[in-house]
Structures are given as C-alpha cells and as structure tokens.
Amino acid sequence: MNLYARKITALLPAVLGVALLCAAPARAQSATPENETIDVEQLFAGTCGFCHSDGGRAAGKGPQLMNSPRDDDFLRDRIAGGKQGAMPAFGGAFTGPQIDQMVKYIRALKPR
C-alpha cells in the first residue's frame, strides 16, 4: 500500500463518522412518515399535560389516566374523537398506530 492509500484508509472512519453525525439531525427534521414512532412521554407532556396532570398520573382539567378502569377501545376512541366541550379530538393530528402508542403509554403509567 502506498502512503496515499494508507492515508485514505486512516481517514475513512472519520469521514464516515462525520457523515453519520450529519445524517442524524437531518432525519429528525424530515416530515413525520405515517407510522413513525413518536416520543410519547414528551408528546403527552406537551399536548395532553395541560389537562392530564403529571403525565396522566393525576387529575387536572381532565381525569387521571393512570389505572383507568376504561378499556383500550374507549381510551382510543376518546383520544381520536375527543369529547365536545371537554377534550379536543386528536384523530386528525395522530395516526392510528400513534394513538395505540398513547394507549400503551397510559397503561404503563406508574406513580412517580
């Protein structure tokens, strides 16, 4: 191997590393594809936390969601359809799989 080839070989991992670092933020900015998973905890805090306190662990303007006695279908329908005068509908903002993720998040809630 001549000196030039050796230099290239040594540089390659660094170049690849930089390329990967650049790709990560670019991916985060791209439009949300249909089934992309969402960071539910963060989303919940921002979108739902105004009414469902402490990440859904406590009642606020809306009821406590942790240990809900309702079944999954009810939770899903309420998130998608909302309730007139009480809770906005989120069926237009989130896809079915994303709403499923929220139901899973609610089911997994534990006291802090």
Binding site for ligand HEC (CB under 6 A): 47-48, 50-52, 61-63, 65, 68, 70, 75, 78-79, 83, 86-88, 90, 102, 106
For residue 60, the minimal CB distance to ligand HEC (Å) is 8
Q: Minimum distance from CB of 73 to ligand HEC (Å)?
A: 11
Between residues 30 and 84, which has the closer beta carbon with respect to ligand HEC? 84
Closest distance of CB 76 from ligand HEC, Å? 8
Which tokens go with 2? 């001549």
Other CB atoms within 10 Å distance of the CB of residue 95:
15
CB burial of 49-79 (b: ≥16 within 10 Å; e: otherwise) equals beebbbbbeeeeebeebbebeeeeeebbbbb
